Structure 1
Amino acid sequence: MKLILRAFDLKLKHTFTISRESIDIQPSLIVELKDGEFSGFGEATSNPYYNITIPKMTSELETLRSVIESSSDETPEIFWNKIHPSLQNNLFALCALDMAYTDLYARKKGKKLYDLWHYNTDKNPLTNYTIGIDTIPKMVAKMNELPWPIYKIKLGTPEDIAIVKELRKHSDAIFRIDANCGWGVDETISNAIALQKLGVEFLEQPLKADNWEGHSEVFKKSVLPIIADESCIIEEDVAKCHNHFHGINIKLVKCGGLTPARRMIQEAKKLGLKTMVGCMTESSVGISAIAHLLPQLDYVDMDGPLLLAKDIAEGVRIENGQIYYTDIDGTGVLLNESL
């Protein structure tokens, strides 16, 4: 098996702003594992909040090249358990590797990933489309540019309620709100009342990640469901979210890939938590992997390719929130030949 690493700068259609940063370019690392005629692909993006860079991921994967390339036919679970101790401090790199290995494993079996996992895709949830923080006219323009059944709206400004009131005038879509740790306890409880009246479905991570006392108070008093994101990184965090959140948003790069994400989903279901998987503005490589988890999810945020000026791969197709799989085995991804 051969390890191939490629770095890309994904240019966005629009400046993307959340409560703590703005970006125009999203650096991304693509991992390819090639075994004979078969190739599997994985992806992880850089992230300053988690101190993750492309050089850092590349360097740590290079140190494991001999171990990785000597692997062959073990299951993705065995492979993940073997690699995890060496990459437990860089789960983004582990995610890209796990994704590529799982994709390769399914392709060698001649199966789409959801078939390998025995998932039924008949009732997949729709994905939202994200509107980053901007001036109200520009946020409205982004909605008009791509009419969609569900919008995730990034907030964390002094004018949050005014923003949603104005956006509501221009769309009957479901609204989801992501404050990215930008609110306080009282602010969240108050905002939830106003936002419920504006047709908001849930609030994602309103408080800072480690404010567990605050999470508990909001959980008890909010009129809207609260979904954990920054408070739910790895498998051990799922149990912590019980009685603090109504659901969890799993990011593959943050938890270390598809293998632990599937375990987190099952644990969440046992605890009565809603399940969601989100993205980090990945290309169709990472997004196509998320698509195979859809049968296990209540909500999904996999709009990454829709935010890009140009995709680097072909994979699942997204139309009006609906996900359509390709005819290719594994995750169904092909890198664009022109790259």
Structure 2
Amino acid sequence: MNPGDRASWNQTANADFVLVGLFGETKPATFLYMVTFIFFLLALAGNTLLIVLIRVQPRLRTPMDFFISQLSLMYLMYISMTVPKMLVGQVTGDRAISASCCGVQMFFSLNLNGEKCFLLAAMASNPYTAICRHLHYTLLMSQRVCECLLSGCWLLGMSDGFLLTPIIMSVPFSQSRKIPSFFCETPALLKLSCADISLYRTFMYVCCVLMLLIPIVVILSSYASILRLIHRMNSAEGQRKAFATCSFQLILGLFFFGAAVYTYMLPTSYHTAEKDIMIPAFYTIITPVLNPLIYNFRNKDFTGALRSTMQLGLSPRKAGNGRA
């Protein structure tokens, strides 16, 4: 880098970035942002409710309930880290984000995405153990084992953020600094580079292969074993229950992993500007809304726990009315 380029880079290294937003300057942008705000509230309410129910209800103490509460926490952290900034920028017209805040946002985005990948793989082990190793289920999915799996998910996921964030933020960026996304994600930031970033892209690709393909292989292997066992079942009722247990989890995994593979692993020739903005919305906004619907509200244990919790909350009021 020659002295002139170095001086120019030093002047812009700490300058603010500008987030394009989810819908840009399209005419129906206000309506679309209102829909996004509603989705944001639904995600907050649904996932918070799940965490509270699992915390207070004794009947929700299974390994899957434990994993669901952690997944809900990750979704809450992720959507709270990205969507409010976008919505405030739409209302105020100020879409600028400082370099330090951008780095923090990218760090937590990478961490939480990696942690969700491994947590979904850990969750796939629960139905596999329950269906294919049911005689050893209590031992293999004990509270201690679940806590160790969760700790491994957090540690493995955090390694992605610690490795990639300082590398990406050290890349020389162009004068524009307009991020073609609604939050600071790695692929969007790399598009702003004004230097040769082939080595950075290769390193990011290797990290993403490990973070995405390993959990995908684990999940597909688990469900392949389950499907083989379902095929051998003579009971139609048993087949129906086993298939229902797996199908809804696969739907959520398809949303998350499909969007993540497109964003981080497909060659640039498959990308378009519109898709690069919209597809991250699936694992940032849509999947946090779907999580309580797919995993929990269809479950009789959760609906029963919600009903009993509401009854407990209303009973003191009824008693007070009776005394009055």
State the TM-score, normalizing by the size of structure 1. 0.24
Question: As a proportion of its length, which structure holds more strand?
Answer: 1
Question: As a proportion of its length, which structure holds more helix?
Answer: 2
Structure ranking higher on relative contact order (CA contacts 8 Å, 6+ apart)? 2
In terms of Rg, which structure is larger?
Answer: 2
